[in-house]
Structure formats: C-alpha cells, structure tokens
Amino acid sequence: MPMLGSSASTLPRPKPCLESYARSQAVKSNRRPNLSSKSAQSPPCSKIRDYPLAISTALYQGEPVAAIVAESPSLAEDAAELIQVEYESLEPVLDAEQALEDKSILHQEMGTNKVWNGVFEYGDVDKSFQEAAYVVHIDRLHFHRFSSTPLENNVVIAEWNPKDDHIYYSCNNSFPSFAIQFLAAHLTVHIDRIRVQTADIGGSFGIKITNYPQMAVCALASKKSGGRPIKWVETRSEHMTSSAHGNERTFRDTRVALDKDGVITAIASRHIDDCGAYPRYEPLGCVIWSQVFPGVYQFKNARIDFTQAVTNKCPVGPNRGYSRMQHLWFLERVVDICAHEIGIPADEMRLRNYIQPEEFPYTTPNGCVYDSGNYPKMLEIAKQLIGWDGWKKKQAELRKEGRLIGIGIGTTLDSGTNNFGQSQIVNPGAPFSGNSQGANCKLDIYGEVVVAVGSCPQGQGHETTAAQVVADVLSISPDLISVRTGFDTERNVHTGFSGTYASQFAVSGLSAVHGAAQKLKTEMKRLAAFVLETKEDDLEFSTGAQGPEVRANSTGKSINYWGLANIVNVNSAVLPPELHEITLNCRYIWRAPFKVPDKQKKYGNLTLTYASQLHIAVVEVDRETFIPKILDYVAVDDCGTVINPPIVEGQVYGATAHGIGAALLENCVYDAVGNMLTSTFSDYTPITALNMPTVRYGHIETPSPHSYSGAKGMGEGGAAPIHTISAALQDALFSNGIIIEDSFNNADTLFRAVVGREIYQADKLVKLDRRV
C-alpha cells in the first residue's frame, strides 16, 4: 500500500520560499480543504484558514508543509529529503500573554492573536471583597503543556473511490462522528459517502480526536492516485511536534476573599489559555473548564476573565482531563496558598470549604448540578490509608534533620457526559447541544445476542461492561453476548456525538446499550407470549438445557433464542400481522436530559455526572540533587455505582500515572525560537515502571441520581496527581519561602527556586491583606 510521508517545518514560523515544493501535490486541487469551521468556531477565529498542509507560512515547528506518496515509508523518507524548503524566519510568539500584545500576528486573516475572551461572573464579587477578613493576592500561576501521548501513534488509511466519490477510512481517530462532520464539509462530499471504521486503538486519551487534518490529506492523496488506498503512520516525533498537546494556561492577578474562619467567599482572576498555532477543537476549552467552576468548594462569588490566544506551538487537543484539570489545579493551589497564609492546616482548610455531603445534588454558581459526592469522607479514608498522623509525626522529625518532606492533598472532579450546548457559550451560532449515544441490540438469525455501540474503546472495557449490562437485562451469562465495538459508520448506531472521550461511556454508552437491550427484551416478551400462549407477566428469562430461553411459569413450556429468532427471520408466515413490527433488531438512542445553557449569563448544567478523586502524596525533595521523590501515594475514588471494579481500579491507576508523569517528568519544552526540545520519547521521558510509585487504592460509592445505574463516567481522573504533587512540594517548601507556581516540577525547577532564588519566590508572588 502506498505510504504517506510528510516533510515538516523545522523552524518556527518559517516562510517557505519555494512554494511549489512546499505545497502538497495532494492538495493542489481547486478544493483545498480548510479545516476551520464556521459551526465550530466563532469570529474572529472562524476567519482562520487552517489547511492540513501549510500554504505559505508554517506556524509551528513540525507543521506539515508537504506530503509524499511512495510505496514504502523508507522511500517516502528518501523523497522527503529531496524537498528543499528555504525558510525565512519570522518573530516567534511562544507565550500566550505575549501573544495578546498582538505585536507579531500569526493569522493575518484574524488580525489578532486573541481567539476568545469572556468574563464568567457570578454572585457579588465586589461585596465579598469588601467584607473579607483576609484577601490573598497571587500574582501568577502556570499550568504547563504536556500530552498523554498514547503509545500507538496516529494511523490513517484512506481510499477515495473515484467511481462514486466514496471515501473509506480505517483509522484510529477516537471521535469519528466529529471528524466526519469536518471532513465531509471540507472535502465537499456527502457525509453518507464517508465510511469510518476503527478497530482496536492503542490509546488515545483525547489526543487522537484531532487527527482529521491528516485524514484529509490521505483522502486527497488517494483521490489523486486514482483511488489507491493511502496509508499514513505517524512517527513518534511527528506525534510529539504536530499531533496535539494539552492546553497550557496562565493564571494572573488572582485575588481570594476569605472570612475569618478561612472560608473562601470569592475569587477573582484572569486566565490566559494557550491553544497553540490553530484552534482546532478550540475555543471549546474556554468553556469546558467551567463544568467544574467552583471545583469541590462552596464559594458562590467569582469573576474569571478568560482569554485564549494562539502561539507558535503545536495546536492543542482535548487531552485527558481537558480544560478542567488546569482549573482544578488552579483552585487547589489557591486553597493551599490561602491555608498557609492564614495559618490553617491543609486538611482542615479543605473540610471548611468543601461542599458538604447533605448539599447534593448541588447547584454551582454557574448552574451545573453536581449529582452526588462525599468529599469529607474521601479525605477521611485517604488519611487513614496513608497513615496521616504517622506521616505528620515523621515529617516533623525528619524536618529537624533538615529533610524537605511534604504531604499534599488533591481533591478533584472528573466531570463526565458533556452538554454540548456549552459550545454556544463560546460560539452562540454553534449548532450543538445535549449529548447522545446509540446502540443496537439484536437476536441474530440463529439467536445469537449481538450488541453494537457507537464507541471506539481503547481498553476501557466497553466490551466487558456492555455485555454485563445486556446479560443483566436478559438474565443470561455475559459470555453469551457478542459485543461489536469499534466505530463503523455503516453499523448505523452512531449519533453526531459518538466516539470515546470525556468520561462518559458508563453513562451515555451503557445507557444506550441498556435502552436497546430493554427494547429487545420487550419484543422478545411479546413474541414469546404469543408462541407459548400465555401472558407476558407469566414469562421468565433464564437459561435452560437448550441455552438462553424464555419460559412460561404457568405451563413450564419454553422457547429458546434460536426459536424466537427463527420465527422473525426465516419462519415469518407463523407470525400474525399484529406482531409484524417485531424485528428483534433494536436500535436505541439515549439522550442526556440537558437544556441549552443561557449564553449571556453563561449559566446552565454543563455535565451530567461528577466523579471525584482524593489523592494524598508524601514527597521528598532531595537536599543534594533536588530530585523530587514520592515516598507514599494513595488514591481514593468515587465514581458512583461501580459496574466493574477491576476496570475502574485500572482506570484510576492509569490516570494516576498520567498525572504523576505530568507533574514530575513530562513537559513539552520549546526553546526561545520555538524549537521543540522534547520531540522524542527519550527527551519527553514518559513515566516508566521505575518512577511510578506503588499506589494504594480506596473507594467510596455515592450513586449518581443522573444515570440509570448510579454510575458516573470516570476515565479521566481529574488529573488529581498534578494537584496533589504540587501540594506536597508546596508543603515541603513553604518554609523556604517558595510558592509552587508551576504544575511541572523537576530537580531543575526546584533547584532554581530553592538555591538559585530565580523563580517561585513567595515574597514576589503572594501577598496577604489581613483585615481582622
């Protein structure tokens, strides 16, 4: 199969002089697909022309400028070497705050680097500050750029059949129903002409949602080749430099009002988000964070001025914990810093500020409804698990020896099942709202139970849990159920929201499966009642000598699934007309009970379920090397009713590893001119078995009233370790006059803070205004 290779820009913002080379042969058609979308983006960023290959100016290192089709990857690489591009270097913009000065503009057609700005204001902020007993000012906090880097890179095979303009994709995109909405518009083909299939996917963590630019190039290359299938296998360096990173965010001029007991009454702050060179899934992140507006805390008054800017870095994508983790990290930093400033222990500070268990369902200041939770209980369990008192004692002793030991708490939320209506808060014209998922449950001709879902799992156990749900409905063993996962447009079970993302399968996917199974059961009952000449309420679903069956309690007569399927599919003359509507092939679309949020007030329920995580870490900063080392770690989780405990536990461990990696090892670093310095795994250093601590796991269950099973989505884990490790490092270093200003910390940053005194200096960053 011909392979696609690409030549990527090697300088930030290079201007190709040999334009004819730089333009891809594949896209040299009259229809150059522009990937920005009027429906996804509002002015001014809808003016951006986002081509899958750069046209005249490349905006970040790694941006593809040419595509080559060859018979093998090595030949494609040889050919790529023949492409000579002379770049003229322009002034790079690498910091979002600097970008907002608009001195060097990335997208001339937009005329500014500002993608979006909006103020989220609730309650009476000014009054709260007037009445505050304490006001804490925090000058700057910064959440770094990282990516959860799935182990399998992006892969696309595209085949554009010239006879009927049908495009077939086999790929690992993890939100295909979204991708086809972009692709159909920009390849100007009917959406029904695009078939997307996914098989097993080697991890995504949201990063594979945005590989549709490459999907577009492959399709066009196939078209140009007369319909041959074209395959693109991303290299790791391509992945690191040009697939997607998580959003980077800077928090400026934060002011926190507290009462005399240390209860936070208001927060005012300015947040600046960096979305890289092109807003692709963005500016959605400008509102997604507000799903967890107050985090786990009770404060009612807040004003957050939120701005997003483009910079000469890789575009961002919805990385695990998307947009919420940045905000939750910010809130946890605020809580720890305020606690320290006014002299309240970190655990006590949280207990005074948590939303209390009896307050659920709890409506946040911006109208989100937290379904259930018990944060104080989770704290209690986590403290027990880690041996809080013991560690406190040990910490005090070791501190006397000069050792830098910190104990940190991170409380966080994993909001699942989005209300896509929130997109209208950033783009009033967006034609999206609600959320839905489709499933199909049928008895096939020989009576096999087959379930299909519109998700594309990457090891989250969709097959297992979907089988469990259907088995429960039909009272049979899960082993008897075939689950068809992996997305396929031609299975006709998807909606425009189908895919695997945003912590929602347990709610949206399984609700769809449950609905389809119920529908099937209802039909089976009607049919069995006819065949067994009894009433529906006389019937029992069970497994007999001839496999799964429906039995009449009154007569003991039964019919197995083969018998039922036989009548409907190949023996239909025995069916009376009133039963002709029975198909035993039941499609069900589950729809989340959402309303469109109030766009002006930025008010409404944005997510259906709120799983919570409470982590505690004990961390030591080595006095000689400044290497931070985790001495102990516990993770307590609450995702409502647990459908499959080992799967939940596995997700918790996985998300914990991502968070620990992000906090201590994984950082997308750019130099002063925009070269990415971490473009291989050897430089980026994803967490390994050697630096992953043993995690002790605990959990509670507060069933969600918002899902049929009481379960909540929980795949993202709220990035709890990032908050927790920052808190532990903070605890270790408060007495050294240090404020943990950044979410990423390693020996270098800690050395520069503690010894060099260059960064993180508390006297420059934090000010307490004490009014009592």
In angstroms, what is the minimal distance from the CB of 331 to other proteins? 24
In angstroms, what is the minimal distance from the CB of 498 to other proteins? 19
> Amino acid identity of 693?
P
Q: 605 vs 667, which CB is nearer to other proteins?
A: 667
Q: 1 vs 570, which CB is nearer to other proteins?
A: 1
In angstroms, what is the minimal distance from the CB of 444 to other proteins? 27
In angstroms, what is the minimal distance from the CB of 391 to ligand FES? 31
Would strands 134-143 and 766-770 be described as parallel, antiparallel, or unpaired? antiparallel
Q: 55 vs 233, which CB is nearer to other proteins?
A: 233
In angstroms, what is the minimal distance from the CB of 646 to other proteins? 5
Q: Residue 694's binding partner, choosing from other proteins, ligand FES, none, with beta-carbon cut-off 5 to 8 A by kind?
A: other proteins
Binding mask 78-97 for other proteins (x = CB under 8 A): x--x----------------
Distances (CA, A) of 230 to 75, 113, 197, 217, 218: 14, 35, 15, 9, 6
Q: Does residue number 383 form part of the binding site for other proteins (CB under 8 A)?
A: no
Q: 74 vs 571, which CB is nearer to ligand FES?
A: 74
Question: Sign of torsion, CA 198 200 206 208?
Answer: negative
H-helix or E-strand containing 375? helix 375-386
Q: Does residue number 478 form part of the binding site for other proteins (CB under 8 A)?
A: no
Q: 239 vs 706, which CB is nearer to ligand FES?
A: 239
Q: Residue 34's binding partner, choosing from ligand FES, other proteins, none, with beta-carbon cut-off 5 to 8 A by kind?
A: none
Q: Which residues in 160-182 are b (16+ Cβ under 10 Å) and which e? A: beeeeebbbbbbbbbbbbbbbbb
Q: Residue 761's binding partner, choosing from ligand FES, other proteins, none, with beta-carbon cut-off 5 to 8 A by kind?
A: none
> Coil, helix or strand for 510?
helix
> Amino acid identity of 45?
C
Taking CB under 8 A as the criterion, which residues in 203-242 touch other proteins? 203, 205, 235-237
In angstroms, what is the minimal distance from the CB of 714 to ligand FES? 17
Q: Does residue number 689 form part of the binding site for ligand FES (CB under 6 A)?
A: no
Give one DSSP letter per residue of 139-189, joined into a string.
EEEEEPP-----SS--EEEEEEETTTTEEEEEE--S-HHHHHHHHHHHTT-
Q: Which residues in 465-485 are b (16+ Cβ under 10 Å) and which e? A: bbbbbbbebbebebebbebeb
Q: 650 vs 703, which CB is nearer to other proteins?
A: 650
Please give the angle made by the CA atoms of 534, 538 and 541, to the nearest 5 degrees: 110
Q: 319 vs 424, which CB is nearer to ligand FES?
A: 319
In angstroms, what is the minimal distance from the CB of 80 to other proteins? 12
Binding mask 129-148 for other proteins (x = CB under 8 A): -------------------x
Q: 241 vs 290, which CB is nearer to other proteins?
A: 241
Distances (CA, A) of 25 to 21, 80, 146, 567: 8, 13, 33, 57
In angstroms, what is the minimal distance from the CB of 197 to other proteins? 17
Number of chain positions touching ligand FES (CB under 6 A)? 3
Q: What are the residues whose beta carbons fall under 8 Å from the beta carbon of 389, sequence distance 6 or more?
A: none
Q: What is the DSSP letter of 711?
A: B
In angstroms, what is the minimal distance from the CB of 153 to other proteins? 8
In angstroms, what is the minimal distance from the CB of 244 to ligand FES? 18
Q: Does residue number 151 form part of the binding site for ligand FES (CB under 6 A)?
A: yes
Q: 361 vs 459, which CB is nearer to other proteins?
A: 459
> Amino acid identity of 299?
F
Please give the angle made by the CA atoms of 442, 448 and 452, to the nearest 5 degrees: 45
Q: 30 vs 694, which CB is nearer to other proteins?
A: 694
Taking CB under 8 A as the criterion, which residues in 422-461 touch other proteins? 458-461
| Burial of 108 (C-beta count, 10 Å sphere; 0-12/13-18/19+) | exposed
Q: Does residue number 459 form part of the binding site for ligand FES (CB under 6 A)?
A: yes
**Alpha carbon distance 50, 646 (integer Å):** 43
**Alpha carbon distance 95, 395 (integer Å):** 38
Distances (CA, A) of 388 to 96, 393, 409, 486, 588: 40, 9, 11, 44, 49
Q: 161 vs 464, which CB is nearer to other proteins?
A: 464
Do the beta carbons of residue 558 and residue 549 sit within 8 Å?
yes
Taking CB under 8 A as the criterion, which residues in 648-687 touch other proteins? 649-650, 652-658, 680-682, 685-686
Taking CB under 6 A as the criterion, which residues in 217-246 touch ligand FES? none
Do the beta carbons of residue 180 and residue 196 sit within 8 Å?
yes
**Alpha carbon distance 475, 106 (integer Å):** 60
Q: Does residue number 150 form part of the binding site for other proteins (CB under 8 A)?
A: yes
**Alpha carbon distance 272, 326 (integer Å):** 11
Do the beta carbons of residue 710 and residue 372 sit within 8 Å?
no
In angstroms, what is the minimal distance from the CB of 694 to other proteins? 7
Q: 316 vs 695, which CB is nearer to other proteins?
A: 695
Question: Sign of torsion, CA 581 586 587 593?
Answer: positive
- Which of residues 5, 203, 438, 486 is near ligand FES by CB under 6 A? 203
Q: Residue 656's binding partner, choosing from other proteins, ligand FES, none, with beta-carbon cut-off 5 to 8 A by kind?
A: other proteins
Q: Residue 679 pairs with which residues in a beta bridge?
A: none
Do the beta carbons of residue 532 and residue 614 sit within 8 Å?
no
In angstroms, what is the minimal distance from the CB of 465 to other proteins? 13
Q: 202 vs 431, which CB is nearer to ligand FES?
A: 202
Q: 649 vs 769, which CB is nearer to other proteins?
A: 649
> Amino acid identity of 281?
Y
Q: Residue 655's binding partner, choosing from other proteins, ligand FES, none, with beta-carbon cut-off 5 to 8 A by kind?
A: other proteins
Q: Does residue number 185 form part of the binding site for other proteins (CB under 8 A)?
A: no
Radius of gyration, alpha carbons of the chain: 27
H-helix or E-strand containing 753? helix 747-754
* Residues forming the site for ligand FES (CB under 6 A): 151, 203, 459
* Residues forming the site for other proteins (CB under 8 A): 72, 74, 78, 81, 148-153, 200-203, 205, 235-237, 458-461, 646-647, 649-650, 652-658, 680-682, 685-686, 688-690, 692, 694-695
